Structure 1
Amino acid sequence: MKTVTTESGIIYEFNKTNPYVIKVPSGTTMKIETYDCFQNQIQTPETEVGRIDWDKINPATGPIFVEDAMPGDILKVTIEKIEIGKQGVMVVGPNLGVMGHKIERMESKILPIKDDKIHFNDIELPLNKMIGVIGVAPEENGVNCGTPGAHGGSMDNKMITEGAILYFPVFAEGALFALGDLHAAMGDGEVSVSGVEVAGEVTVKLDVLKGDRLSHPMLENEVVFTQIVSAETLDEAAKLATSEMIERIVEKTGLPLSEITMLMSAAGHSEICQIVDPLMTARFVVPKWLLKELECTLINE
């Protein structure tokens, strides 16, 4: 299996001008090593968070050039395994996250990870291993890895975990795929501006799909299909995710917009991914049993 390490190359922004670290054919399964979102700068409680290098935040490992991926295609990314380190870190600080206006100083907390539990003081939190930053080169200018968009990026969607399949619109030749910012756990919203940040390794399979198009990333797991959208406000992101999903189902089924809208209001779900990045991210979730009843395939393979 091919492996891309952090020493192979990291990026701080997704950009079609980034030189790739490896070229692989469609269908490749590979392991990608990642730093945590602070580039492993906070390893002990004694580290002064305000004194770390804040220019080295949210590094993503890559980019990876996928052969045959061209603008207008879809990059299918199957997340086969997420392996994480033995400790995570969380931070809070002034002007960070939802409560940053009331927090007066930077604080960090080192959280041991043992026996599939995160130890927060005397509380044992369950693991929810997921990927915060994952995506491809954007269509136009570069986008900082801490900002989400149509290319993916810092979507901080807790559903991006083992067994999930992500579909990205390809904007640049080779797609230029990269990922980073693993979390041992993160709640919807990521309200403090950090999940349980952790270094690790991710095993993914990369496939190029021809003959179908996307405007924003989609996610599939065993039970649902999800449309993910990032926008300036949460309202805008949620409404656009909903409308894009409804219009895609209408396109794929040929059924009336009014009926699909009613079905989505009855059985679909509008949910929050994160509310703390430069853009807000929301998702619209549709159960697969309903798509089966509609005889609807959302992605052509």
Structure 2
Amino acid sequence: MTTTPSAQAALQPDTGEIPASVYLSAALPNILWGRLPCAADTAVLTVAPGTEVTIDTISHEGILDDQGRDPVAFFAGHGVARDGVLDDAVAVAASTGLRDPAVDGPHVVTGPIAVEGAEPGDVLTMTLVTATPRVPYGVISNRHGRGALAGEYPQAEGNVSTFAAVASREDGTLVGTLPRIPGGPRTVTFPLHPFLGIMGVAVAGGERPHSVPPGAHGGNIDINLLVEGASLHLPVQVPGALAYVGDPHFAQGDGEVALTAMEASLRVTVRFDLIKRADAVAAFGEIAGPLAETAEYLVPTGLDEDLDEAVQNCVRAAIDLLHARYGMDRTLAYAYLSAATDFDISQVVDLVKGVHARIRKEDFDV
């Protein structure tokens, strides 16, 4: 197997293919940096249910203060020319007043987007229709006090930001690549599966949540099953839902143990569907938090600062889902989950830990 660097040019704002008829750039008026929308925020776009929107997202890696807050210089250090750095990322890094690094999170989110007719108690379904890399590289970071092995890694004084290039295999498949193993001829490669780490709806009240911990609003859930074709169902908290996306990834392993995965900017197309409360309860029961869905799986989630509690919350959500959707006795559902369902760690690095279950839909086909 051989790989060659991807020759993809940077997908700059307002250029290249825009699949949907509605486009939302990541220009400064359309983004938040380090915080998520709340009820007090004004939508930057309003759409009817069923609308597909092409949205530009910006990765926070390369623009943060501990990386120099200068993506042109940061990526130049990895051999990226100026025209290979996104103009909107440069604008965010150069902005003032958008983010206080002492109290705000790192993530850039695009939105909020209002969905006509959405009311608290309804469910908003966000489906990732397309996910296109905007650059042929990404960054995987480990910072002191963060990650599964905080206190052990990083092993040196400074933070570690590992540059990961995109390459193409002989069959045209795109892969991520890491630096060559010292003293060896091999380059480590791994499959890409682009997805959004952040998909969410606004919280009630007038205070914007920190961008790091996920919650009932969705946010930074980091579920790597949410690739093209997958959906996330979220309980609406405010009129209009005020949805948003961000934290784009090219790849992530369950757990995301170092702190970040292969973080890199995406242009995505998302469809926004609205399920009114009565229909949502019939399909899923009372959804208390994020519920993902793929062609193969129903994916209930559990969240908590304690991983044991997160697992328990996920099991409870799975039992409730099986009872509501299929009329399954709860004791029988518990037995089924133990025999047939995988419970995966979504991430352990976002203050609130995440677990998700993969319930096979075909098991319930009759």
Q: Same fold (TM over 0.5)?
A: yes
> Of 136, 153, 157, which residue of structure 2 is paired with 1:86?
136
Query: Does 2:288 correspond to 1:215?
Result: yes
Q: Distance in 1 between matches of 2:119 and 2:226?
A: 24
Which residue in 2 is equivalent to 1:117?
175
> Of 18, 31, 37, which residue of structure 2 is paired with 1:10?
31
Which blocks of at least 5 consecutive residues in structure 1 are unaligned? 294-301
Greater share of helix residues, 1 or 2? Answer: 2
Does the 8 A contact of 1:61 with 1:180 survive in 2? Answer: yes
Does the 8 A contact of 2:55 with 2:268 survive in 1? Answer: yes
CA deviation string 1:67-126 (max 9, x = no partner):
011000000111111111211012122112112312232121222213211121121221
Which residue in 1 is equivalent to 2:10?
none
Q: Distance in 2 between matches of 1:207 and 1:39?
A: 33
Measured at CA, do residues 155 and 270 of structure 1 come closer, stay the same or move farther in structure 2, by a change above 3 Å?
A: same
- Counterpart mapping for 1:263-282 below 5 A: 263-282=336-355
Q: Distance in 1 between matches of 2:216 and 2:204?
A: 9
The percent of aligned pairs where both chains have the same amino acid is 27
Q: Distance in 2 between matches of 1:95 and 1:225?
A: 34
Does the 8 A contact of 2:314 with 2:357 survive in 1? Answer: yes
Query: Does 2:201 correspond to 1:136?
Result: yes
SS in 2 for 1:65: strand
Which residue in 2 is equivalent to 1:297?
none
Which residue in 2 is equivalent to 1:174?
240
Q: Distance in 2 between matches of 1:39 and 1:176?
A: 28
Measured at CA, do residues 191 and 45 of structure 1 come closer, stay the same or move farther in structure 2, by a change above 3 Å?
A: farther
Q: Distance in 2 between matches of 1:138 and 1:291?
A: 34
Aligned length: 289
Does the 8 A contact of 1:73 with 1:209 survive in 2? Answer: yes
Greater share of strand residues, 1 or 2? Answer: 1
Does the 8 A contact of 2:176 with 2:191 survive in 1? Answer: yes
Deviation at 1:289, TM superposition (A): 1.2
Measured at CA, do residues 97 and 249 of structure 1 come closer, stay the same or move farther in structure 2, by a change above 3 Å?
A: same
Does the 8 A contact of 2:61 with 2:139 survive in 1? Answer: no
CA deviation string 1:219-254 (max 9, x = no partner):
111111000222121111111111111122123333
SS in 2 for 1:149: coil
SS in 2 for 1:95: coil
Higher alpha-carbon Rg: 2
SS in 1 for 2:319: helix
Which residue in 1 is equivalent to 2:257?
191
Q: Distance in 2 between matches of 1:39 and 1:46?
A: 11
Q: Distance in 1 between matches of 2:242 and 2:76?
A: 36
> Of 43, 46, 52, which residue of structure 2 is paired with 1:20?
43
Query: Does 2:149 correspond to 1:149?
Result: no
Q: TM-score, normalised by structure 2?
A: 0.75
Q: Distance in 2 between matches of 1:57 and 1:15?
A: 18
Which residue in 2 is equivalent to 1:97?
147
Which blocks of at least 5 consecutive residues in structure 2 are unaligned? 1-20, 64-68, 79-92, 94-98, 169-173, 180-186, 281-285
Q: Distance in 2 between matches of 1:274 and 1:218?
A: 16
Does the 8 A contact of 1:269 with 1:284 survive in 2? Answer: yes
2:49 counterpart letter in structure 1:
S
Deviation at 1:151, TM superposition (A): 0.7
